[in-house]
């Protein structure tokens, strides 16, 4: 059974930084894509960034240059370093894993950026 456990959310002032972590347990295929999505109140869930098993990354335009996604294969953990945070980054952030024909989600972690 695959599980994704996120950590690292919290409250930060605008301009600050946070780092989110997502630890994956269980059997997953070597070919996979891990990513972070976010959902603000009243809005649809949107992709923030993702990274393939080969290390190729993809970012939403709104976070390019501010957020960095990375992973530690030995720990089966993916990270999202968020710098220069803005109030509009406030949302619940979800870890996501796509592998084989399956999609898995974490429980979500709240990120709140105050102005």
pLDDT digits (tens, 9 = 90+) for 27-45: 776 778 999 999 999 999 9
> What are the residues whose beta carbons fall under 8 Å from the beta carbon of 115, sequence distance 6 or more?
14, 87
Phi, psi of 88 (to 5 degrees): -70, -5
Tell me how far apart the alpha carbons of residues 54 and 88 are, in angstroms, rounded to a whole number.
31
Q: What are 41-53's pLDDT values in tens digits?
A: 999 999 999 999 9
Token duo for residue 71 = 């992973």
Within 10 A of 43 (CB to CB), how many other CB atoms are there? 9
Percent of the chain with pLDDT over 70: 99
């Amino acid at each position: 059974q695959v599980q994704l456990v996120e950590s690292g959310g919290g409250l930060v002032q605008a301009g600050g930084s946070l780092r989110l972590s997502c630890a994956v347990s269980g059997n997953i295929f070597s070919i996979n894509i891990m990513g972070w999505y976010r959902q603000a109140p009243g809005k649809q869930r949107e992709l923030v960034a993702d990274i393939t098993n080969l290390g190729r990354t993809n970012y939403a335009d709104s976070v390019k240059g501010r957020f960095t996604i990375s992973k530690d294969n030995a720990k089966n953990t993916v990270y999202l370093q968020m710098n220069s945070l803005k109030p509009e980054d406030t949302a619940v952030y979800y870890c996501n894993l796509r592998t084989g024909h399956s999609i898995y989600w974490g429980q979500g972690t709240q990120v709140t950026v105050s102005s």
